[in-house]
Amino acid sequence: MKLFRFGGPGQEKPGALDKDGIRRDLSSVIDDIAGAALSREAIARLAALDLSGFPVVPDSERLGACVGAVGNFIGVGLNYADHAVEAGLPIPTEPILFNKAPSCIGGPNDDIILPRGSTKTDWEVELALVIGEPASYVEEADVPEIIAGYCICNDVSERAFQNERGGQWMKGKGCPTFGPLGPWLVTPDEIADVQNLGLWLSVNGQEMQNGTTGTMIFGVYQLVSHISQFMILEPGDVITTGTPPGVGFGMKPPLYLKAGDVIELGVGGLGTQHQRVVQPIDHADDGG
């Protein structure tokens, strides 16, 4: 299935694509694509529905993040060998983990707002996964049983905040709008091989990234098992699994986002995203 959420920010409703790719409103049967609705049993019940009788969601409706009520938003750094090389950093011997603030999550086509003081905001197309079952110390072989689905993440990153301000990477990873997710949450049965998906990203029509999940250092199942050794994973938690080469800070000279830029990105079988980069709103100008 391809699940989605639609409506204004904070007011999203659940939906699914029917067999003809028509968007259908599921709000009469579930409250949200979140929590218990992500379990194997709950998704199986949705998959058994005849969606043809559900209301059509107009294409004009905004798409929200494809999962709601996210508790933990976990990132993985330097997880593609060729990306580590472009960053001039050694290939990790075990996964590098960091947090993205759940408050940074947005819809796949929402604007990306440059943070105040930003000089080095960058892009990262990534494969993300959503947890569907509680898990702790899960074995790698059992990981498929706890994944509700996969989606696209643009792991937007402010490099000066991330690398030049001391402390942990999260400073440059969790700014508002820095976590677009979607458009679809695609259930695992639709993905033939999660380690053979193409990823691409362009800025203003120029291709910047073009890679494959086949060059991950740590595969998806390995990552989930590893992370579960350090925390309890809960339904709705998101793990975004790293980016291939072609990010702005790896270019010579580096290239960063500016207001007016347009980003397009996609992952094979998971759809595409489209974002416009805008300046922050200065509330001092409007009395706010």
Sheet holding 198-203, edge to edge: 112-113, 271-278, 262-267, 198-203, 206-212
Report cis status (omega within 30 of 0) of the bond before 253: yes
Q: 204: phi > 0 → left, psi -120 to 50 → alpha, else beta; which? A: left
- Mean residue pLDDT across the chain: 95
Residue 169 has what pLDDT?
Answer: 80
Q: How confident is the model at residue 168 (pLDDT cuts 50, 70, 90)?
A: confident
Residue 87 has what pLDDT?
Answer: 75
Mean pLDDT of 48-57: 97
Q: What is the 3-state secondary structure (H, E, C) of 20-77?
A: CCCEEECCCCCCCCCHHHHCHHHHHHHHCCCHHHCCECCCCCCECCCCCCCCCEEEEE
Question: How far lies 189's CA from each of 57, 83, 97, 153, 269, in Å?
Answer: 24, 29, 27, 20, 12
Q: Is the pLDDT of residue 74 over 50?
A: yes
Q: Is the pLDDT of residue 288 over 50?
A: no
User: Contact at 8 Å (CB) between 24 and 55?
Assistant: yes
Domain definitions of the chain by residue range: 2-53, 73-285
Q: Is the pLDDT of residue 284 over 70?
A: no
| Dmax (CA) of the chain | 56
Mean pLDDT of 233-261: 96
> DSSP readout, 111-124?
PEEPPTT-S-EE--
Mean pLDDT of 111-121: 96
φ, ψ at 169 (rounded to 5°) = -60, -25
Amino acid symbol at 278: V
Q: Is the pLDDT of residue 286 over 70?
A: no
What is the CATH class of 73-285? alpha beta
Residue bearing the bigger pLDDT, 36 or 285: 36
What percentage of the chain reaches a pLDDT higher than 90? 89
